[in-house]
Amino acid sequence: MTAPQCEVAVIVPVHNAAAFLPDCLRALAAQTFAGFCCILVDDGSTDASAALCDEAARCDGRFCALHQPQSGVAAARTAGVRRALALGARWLAFCDADDQYHPAFLAALHAAARASGLPLACCRYDTFAEAPPAEAPAPQSWQVLAAPQHLDALLHDHAVDYGLWNKLYSAALLTPAMLDNGLAYNEDLLANWQAFLAAPGCAFCDFAGYHYRQHAASATHRALPPQSIDDQRRAAALIRAGVPAQWPALQQSANAFYYEKLVYLASMILRRADAGAYRAQLGELTIGIAAGLRDRQLGRNPRLPRSIRLAAWATVHTPKLWQRVCRTFLKDRQ
C-alpha cells in the first residue's frame, strides 16, 4: 500500500533501528495533525527494520515503505523527498528512526509556518535515554527569526540547532540537491545552511517538539572516522565562504563558527587513544588554529567564546597538556 497525497510528508531514514523504530512509529501515528504521510526509507537494514517498515505500511495508510541498498542517511533522505514530491507533499519534515515526535510537532510547526507566511519553521528538542520527558502543551504562538537572524541562530543557537529533524520545510525550499551534497558528516548542517539562505526567515516555536534519544550507538556517541573530520571542516569552510556580502555581521558569525569548529575537531582527535591515526588531520587543524590566534576574524573574533580562545591557545602552545585534559574530561566519542 502506498501513502495518499499529503500536506506534510515525514521522511524517516531507517538503518538497523529495529530496537527503537516501534516507539518512533507510535509517536508518528499519534500526531494530532491529520494531513500527513510518512515515508520510511529502509537503507539496507540487516535486522528486522525492513519488516517493521512494511508492517507499518500494511497497517496504516498514512505510511509507505521504500527499500534501497545501504547508501547512507543523505541518500535515504533524498529518496524520501523524491517520493514526497511525487505524492504532491507541500511540506517536508524528518525524523530519525530512534527518536520521537511530540504529538503536536507537525500541527504546531505547520500552523506557525502557514500563519507567518514563512517557508520554514523550527522548535526546540530535548534528549532522553529510556522514555521521553513529560509532554508540555505546544504553544499557540511563535517567534519570527527574520534574515539574517535565523542564519546566525542556525550556527550558534542550540535551540534551533543544525539538525533536519526539529524543523518543517516548504517542499519548494529544501531540494534533493541540498540534501545530497556529497558529505557523509555534517550533511544536515550544510543542507540547512543552503535552505536557510533561501528563506527570508524562520518561525520558531518555543517548545520541545522533538525528542532525541541518547544511546551508545546514536550518532552523538559514536567514535567518528577520519573522514568525519574532513567533512565537518569542509562544511564549515563552505558556510564561511557562502555568506552574502550584504550581511557583514553574519560574516563575523560564520568566521567564529568556522574557527570554533577547528578547535572542536582538534579536541575530538586529542581525546582519542588512537590519535595517531588522525595525524594528518590534526596537523592541518593545528596550522589553521595557530594562524588564526591573532586574527580578528578568527581567534580574536568577538563572537568567539572565551573557552574556545583558551582551547585554541592550549592546542597550539601546550599540546601535550591539552591532550591530557581532553582525554580526562572529554569522554564522549573516544
Task: Note the pLDDT tens digit of each residue in 179-195.
Answer: 999 999 999 999 999 99
- Burial of 257-285, coded b for 16+ CB within 10 Å and e otherwise, reads bbbbbbbebbbbbbbbeebeebeebbebb
Nearest to 327 by CA among 271, 264, 274, 268: 271
Structure-block grid coordinates of residue 235:
562544511
pLDDT band (50, 70, 90) for residue 2: very low
Report pLDDT for 5.
Answer: 63
Q: How far is CA 245 from the centre of its chain?
A: 26
Asked if residues 112 and 82 have their Cβ atoms less than 8 Å apart, the reply is: no
Report pLDDT for 9.
Answer: 98
Its pTM surpasses 0.75: yes
pLDDT digits (tens, 9 = 90+) for 13-52: 999 999 999 999 999 999 999 999 999 999 999 999 999 9
pLDDT band (50, 70, 90) for residue 11: very high
Report pLDDT for 333.
Answer: 53
Does residue 221 surpass a pLDDT of 60?
no
pLDDT band (50, 70, 90) for residue 3: very low
pLDDT digits (tens, 9 = 90+) for 245-273: 999 999 999 999 999 999 999 999 999 98
Query: 170: part of which helix (H) or strand (E)?
Result: strand 167-170
Q: What is the CA radius of gyration of the chain?
A: 20
Does residue 284 surpass a pLDDT of 60?
yes
Round to whole Å and give the CA distance between 228 and 312.
Answer: 20
Does residue 280 surpass a pLDDT of 70?
yes
Asked if residues 220 and 214 have their Cβ atoms less than 8 Å apart, the reply is: yes
Report pLDDT for 219.
Answer: 53
Report pLDDT for 330.
Answer: 84
Q: What is the mean pLDDT of the chain?
A: 94
The DSSP code for 219 is T
Does residue 215 surpass a pLDDT of 80?
no
Asked if residues 285 and 269 have their Cβ atoms less than 8 Å apart, the reply is: yes
Query: 92: part of which helix (H) or strand (E)?
Result: strand 91-94
Which residues 6+ apart lie within 8 Å of 152 measured at CB? 249, 250, 253
- Residue with the larger pLDDT of the pair 143 and 131: 143
